[in-house]
Structure 1
Amino acid sequence: MEYRILGPIRVLDEEGETFLNARKVQALLAVLLIRSNQIVSVDQLIAEIWHDNPPRRASASLHVYVSQVRKFLSRPGRSGSQLLTRVPGYLLTLGEDTLDVHEFQQRMNAGRDLYLLGRHEEACRELTVALDAWRGPALGELSGDGPIVRGFVAWAEEARLECLELQIETQLALGLHRQLVGRLFQLISEVPMRETLYRQLMLALYQADRPADALRVYQSARVTLNDELGVEPCRALRDLHHAILAGDVRGDSEVSALAS
């Protein structure tokens, strides 16, 4: 069985995908999956589901939700329950089941290692598979819920962007400069504070024989960062800007910190 949380919460088995409709039960399953193979206390679960306004019988309601999750996860031929009662709360064991975020992390780490070894084609394949695990925002509509969920969603989005930047880094190393220009313009419009994307777009444009456009991207980044944050571009952007002005940009570009 496969649990999917890089997008709306889904459970995949030989019969196909299934999901929970009730939001509070979804929140319970989300927290148990985020903390899979760890005990989550009753107090933590109540805070995730009801925040600062739990009902008088929150513990009793939580017990009902736990029963609903157990029923949802039960499958013919599987003995026992993966959702265990363990003081001071509950524990969801994965066993032989898989969780998509674990696969994402493994593929991303493998891609980074391959990139640092200079095996760019293999790195790009691993990173592409990692990104393919995403089916939308992590946990779907639950992104605004309790502290464990909020923390996971923030971490997951940062990891996704880091993986995306590293994938682009491998593609630049493979010489796919012209193919990346349009994609990078679109990504910058979506996340305009990511300075790595500006650096990558400047390098792609320069290597595509468009140095004037690369310089305009730097100016756009400088204005955006000044207007939104009151800061100047980072050193990597400034160094690339100076290198373009001097006509002395190395074809391989410097290895960015995201790969270290």
Structure 2
Amino acid sequence: MRFEILGSLRITDADEVFTISAPKVECLLAAMLVRAGNVISTDQLCSEIWRDDPPRRATATLHVYISQLRKTLKGPSRAKGPIVTRFPGYVLELGGEHTLDAHDFQRLAQQGRAAARAGRHAEVSALCGQALSLWRGTVLGELRGGDVVDEFATWAEETRLECVELRNEADLALGRHRELVGPLYALVSKHPLIEAFHRQLMLALYRSDRRADALQAFHTVRSALDRELGISPCRQLHELHREILLDSGPALTRAA
């Protein structure tokens, strides 16, 4: 059974893909998957499901939801499901036939970081590309609002952006600057305050013989940072801007 949370929550079992139709039970499963392999207490689960407004018999209702979820995940062909009772709550145990896309994403991201430190650019691009291909949309979008899911979603999004940055750096080092221009314009539009993406765009434009556009990209980020935060671009951006003006400098030709 494959659990997927890098997007809306869904489950793949052999050739069947299905979702949990009951919203509260779906919220319960999301919290348990986020903490897969670790005990999550009944109090935490109740808070995740009902926020600050639990019903009078919240714990009893939670036990009913757990029972329903166990039946759904066990299926007719399994001796037992992945949910185990363990004080002071429950744990969803993965391994064997039960896998989670977020764990694969984390593993690939870690391997991508290691390859980047070793300067293996083609490997970085491939690993980060595999990691990013696991994403299907906003992480658990309809299930946000509880501390457990929100904390995971924040980590996942930050790690996704890190993978995007690492892959871009690797692709620049591999001479793929022309094919990066379009995606980087989209990135700086969506994340106007992430200076690393602006630096990568400037470099990709310059290496694509678009020096004027590279200079304009600097003015765009400078205006955005001043308007939103009252600050100027970082030292790296200023140095790259100076080198592009001079049409000479180490950042323009070295592996990114």
Q: What SS does the aligned partner of 2:7 have?
A: coil
Cα offset, 1:246, TM superposition: 2.4
1:87-140, Cα deviation, whole Å (9 max, x unpaired): 111111113121101111111221222233232222211111110000111113
Q: For structure 1, which runs of at least 5 residues remain unmatched after alignment?
A: 255-260
The equivalent of 2:32 in structure 1 is 32
Q: What SS does the aligned partner of 1:54 have?
A: coil
The equivalent of 1:116 in structure 2 is 117
Q: What SS does the aligned partner of 1:56 have?
A: coil
Matches of 1:169 and 1:239, distance apart in 2: 17
Matches of 1:78 and 1:59, distance apart in 2: 27
Cα offset, 1:54, TM superposition: 0.7
Matches of 1:229 and 1:220, distance apart in 2: 14
The aligned runs of 1:71-110 (5 Å cut-off) are: 71-96=71-96, 97-110=98-111
Aligned length in residues: 253
The aligned runs of 1:9-158 (5 Å cut-off) are: 9-96=9-96, 97-143=98-144, 145-158=145-158
Matches of 2:174 and 2:126, distance apart in 1: 12
Q: What SS does the aligned partner of 1:11 have?
A: strand
Q: What SS does the aligned partner of 1:192 have?
A: coil
The equivalent of 2:164 in structure 1 is 164
1:65-107, Cα deviation, whole Å (9 max, x unpaired): 1111111111233212321111111111113121101111111
1:150-196, Cα deviation, whole Å (9 max, x unpaired): 11111111111111111111110111111111111111111111111
2:198–2:217 contact (8 Å) kept in structure 1: yes
Letter in 1 for 2:76: P
2:124–2:166 contact (8 Å) kept in structure 1: no
Q: What SS does the aligned partner of 2:85 have?
A: strand
2:42–2:59 contact (8 Å) kept in structure 1: yes
2:3–2:12 contact (8 Å) kept in structure 1: yes
RMSD: 1.3
Cα offset, 1:253, TM superposition: 4.7
Letter in 2 for 1:233: P
Q: Percent identity?
A: 49
Matches of 1:3 and 1:252, distance apart in 2: 42
Ranges of 4+ aligned residues in structure 1 off by more than 3 Å: none
Matches of 1:200 and 1:72, distance apart in 2: 47
Q: What SS does the aligned partner of 1:76 have?
A: coil
Q: For structure 2, which runs of at least 5 residues remain unmatched after alignment?
A: none
Q: What SS does the aligned partner of 2:36 have?
A: coil
